[in-house]
């Protein structure tokens, strides 16, 4: 996540902000500019704004701002009043039921981070024009979290921190979060877009295994018997060992965590040196658009020292590790495959796209994963 400045007073503002604490300007996130912008009310129509410091047509807040569930903006004269992210909602929970509003607001915050990732990557939210599916969300009470035919279902109970922690312990997971769920389920949607629709199944199978294996039987076996004892030598998580599709979705989510976190670290000026590890990292790093540029090896050269530093920070505060993972070589190759799949798609769909500020400097060569670099 980039840092943003209030376009009225220059104060630092954040992705979820709706008002500048310094100058009181109203703020919103504009998905077309991919930026938080300060707003000035227009005399009409009611609820319309102009973006301070930006040219362009009149804007309004998404209709879900009425529930304090969204701070995204949408053009005043188009659509049904929902922003690009809320427009993906097919079902939201009954807000008259106690607790549902708070849970949904939290789900929306996580979903906005996911949609932000997808827009930064240049990934499509709707592939129906090319015969595919449209990404959609059902936020349901008493439903199973999952993905089917483009629709991501999230059990609203996942927004309950106590219940989530109970499940995290029950399933022996080092990490469980709403954003993690959303990123995982989006992986199933983008498998269809990036792998099936582009006939990449053979190269997928060479790395992840054959997804034609009976999915229902594989999940039943996983839930009955647990993961194979050596799962950590091949996968980013135990659940990833259940079936090649779950392996892809877990790897996809992990890759999104990595890119998003490096983007934030870069925006905050956090670039830890290689903490005594020598793998040729140049420092200080150049500012890249980490969603669009850099080799996978270059990303990992930044990621590993960052996770070690942040784990140390967490331990110093008495918290659990920020990054409780060790990436084995096989999972490293899977992450690199996800990286390539996303970059190939983005390049093919917008080959002329350039990013301001990049003069095409040297990209770091791919590296082998450093051994045992994450604390146990
Ligand atoms: Zn301000
Ligand atoms: Zn919205
Ligand atoms: Zn899954």
Centre of ligand 3 to C-alpha 265, Å, is 28
pLDDT of residue 275: 52
> 339 and 228, same structural domain?
yes
> 257 and 141, same structural domain?
no
pLDDT of residue 277: 53
Centre of ligand 1 to C-alpha 21, Å, is 7
> 145 and 188, same structural domain?
yes
pLDDT of residue 93: 94
Centre of ligand 1 to C-alpha 70, Å, is 19
pLDDT of residue 276: 53
> H/E element holding 24?
none
Q: Which percentage of the chain shows pLDDT scores above 90? A: 67
Model pTM score: 0.89
Q: Which percentage of the chain shows pLDDT scores above 70? A: 89
Q: Give the number of the ligand closest to the Cα of residue 67.
A: 2
pLDDT of residue 80: 84
Centre of ligand 2 to C-alpha 95, Å, is 16
- The rounded distance, in Å, linking the Cα atoms of 2 and 235 is 30
Q: Give the number of the ligand closest to the Cα of residue 144.
A: 3
Residue 116: domain span: 85-197
> 287 and 222, same structural domain?
yes
Centre of ligand 3 to C-alpha 189, Å, is 10
pLDDT in tens, 18-34: 999 999 999 999 999 99
pLDDT in tens, 320-365: 999 989 899 999 999 999 999 999 999 888 755 443 333 333 333 3
Residue 351 class from Cβ within 10 Å (0-12 exposed, 13-18 middle, 19+ buried)?
exposed
Residues around ligand 1, an ion, CB closer than 5 A: 6, 8-9, 11, 20, 22-23, 25
**pLDDT-wise least confident of 9-13, 247-251, 304-308:** 304-308
* Rounded CA Rg of the chain: 21
Centre of ligand 2 to C-alpha 289, Å, is 25
Does residue 56 sit in helix, strand or coil? coil
Chain Cα centroid distance, residue 355: 20
> 281 and 153, same structural domain?
no
Q: How far apart are the first and last CA of the chain?
A: 28
Q: Give the number of the ligand closest to the Cα of residue 112.
A: 2
pLDDT of residue 363: 34
Centre of ligand 1 to C-alpha 102, Å, is 28
Nearest to 189 by CA among 146, 154, 220, 155: 146
| Confidence band of 302 (pLDDT split at 50, 70, 90) | confident
> 96 and 28, same structural domain?
no
Nearest to 53 by CA among 27, 31, 90: 27
pLDDT of residue 269: 82
Which of 48, 83, 118 is the C-terminal boundary of a domain?
A: 83
> 146 and 248, same structural domain?
no
pLDDT in tens, 156-165: 888 888 888 8
> 42 and 28, same structural domain?
yes
- Per the structure, how many domains does the chain have? 3
Centre of ligand 2 to C-alpha 344, Å, is 29
Centre of ligand 2 to C-alpha 153, Å, is 18
pLDDT of residue 274: 59
Q: Give the number of the ligand closest to the Cα of residue 87.
A: 2
Could you tell me which residues are beta bridge partners of residue 27?
38
Centre of ligand 3 to C-alpha 371, Å, is 28
pLDDT in tens, 110-138: 999 999 999 999 999 999 998 999 999 99
Across the chain, what does the average pLDDT equal?
87
> 79 and 27, same structural domain?
yes
- The rounded distance, in Å, linking the Cα atoms of 61 and 70 is 8
> 228 and 162, same structural domain?
no
- The rounded distance, in Å, linking the Cα atoms of 185 and 165 is 19
Q: Give the number of the ligand closest to the Cα of residue 240.
A: 3
Top pLDDT among 284 and 298 is at 298
- The rounded distance, in Å, linking the Cα atoms of 289 and 357 is 9
> 218 and 102, same structural domain?
no
> 295 and 190, same structural domain?
no
Which of 197, 227, 244 is the C-terminal boundary of a domain?
A: 197
Average pLDDT for residues 44-59, to the nearest whole number? 91
* Sequence-ordered alpha helix ranges (H) in 7-126: 100-121
**pLDDT-wise least confident of 49-53, 81-85, 201-205, 287-291:** 287-291
Which of 40, 67, 83 is the C-terminal boundary of a domain?
A: 83
Residue 264 has pLDDT above 70, yes or no: yes
Q: What distances in angstroms separate CA 235 from CA 102, 187, 206, 317, one per listed residue?
A: 34, 15, 15, 29
Centre of ligand 2 to C-alpha 313, Å, is 34
Centre of ligand 3 to C-alpha 17, Å, is 31
């Amino acid at each position: 996540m980039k840092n943003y400045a209030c376009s009225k007073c220059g104060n630092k503002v954040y992705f979820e902000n709706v008002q500048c604490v310094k100058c009181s300007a109203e703020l919103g996130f504009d998905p077309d500019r991919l930026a938080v912008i300060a707003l000035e009310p227009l005399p009409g129509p009611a609820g319309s704004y102009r973006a301070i410091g930006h040219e362009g047509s009149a804007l309004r807040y998404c209709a879900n701002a009425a529930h304090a569930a969204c701070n995204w903006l949408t053009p005043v004269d188009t659509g049904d009043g929902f922003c690009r992210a809320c427009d993906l909602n097919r079902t939201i929970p009954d807000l008259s039921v106690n607790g549902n509003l708070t849970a949904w607001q939290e789900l929306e915050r996580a979903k906005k981070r996911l949609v932000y990732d997808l827009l930064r990557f240049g990934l499509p939210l709707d592939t129906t024009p090319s015969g595919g599916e449209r990404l959609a969300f059902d936020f349901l009470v008493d439903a199973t979290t999952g993905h089917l035919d483009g629709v991501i279902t999230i059990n609203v109970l996942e927004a309950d921190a106590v219940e989530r922690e109970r499940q995290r312990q029950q399933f022996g997971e080092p990490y469980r979060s709403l954003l993690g769920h959303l990123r995982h389920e989006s992986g199933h949607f983008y498998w269809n877009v990036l792998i099936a629709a582009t006939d990449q199944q053979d190269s997928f199978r060479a790395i992840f295994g054959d997804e034609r294996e009976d999915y229902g039987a594989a999940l039943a076996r996983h839930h009955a018997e647990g993961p194979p004892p050596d799962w950590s030598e091949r996968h980013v998580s135990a659940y990833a060992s259940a079936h090649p599709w779950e392996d892809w979705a877990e790897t996809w989510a992990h890759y999104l965590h990595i890119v998003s976190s490096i983007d934030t670290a870069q925006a905050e000026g956090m670039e830890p040196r290689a903490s005594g590890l020598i793998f040729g990292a140049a420092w200080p790093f150049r500012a890249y658009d980490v969603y669009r540029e850099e080799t996978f090896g270059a990303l990992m050269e930044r990621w590993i020292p960052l996770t070690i530093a942040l784990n140390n920070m967490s331990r110093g505060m008495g918290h659990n590790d920020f990054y409780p993972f060790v990436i084995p070589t096989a999972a490293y190759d899977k992450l690199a495959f996800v990286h390539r799949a996303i970059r190939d798609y983005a390049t093919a769909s917008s080959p002329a796209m350039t990013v301001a500020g990049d003069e095409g400097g040297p990209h770091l060569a791919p590296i082998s994963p450093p051994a045992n670099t994450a604390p146990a």
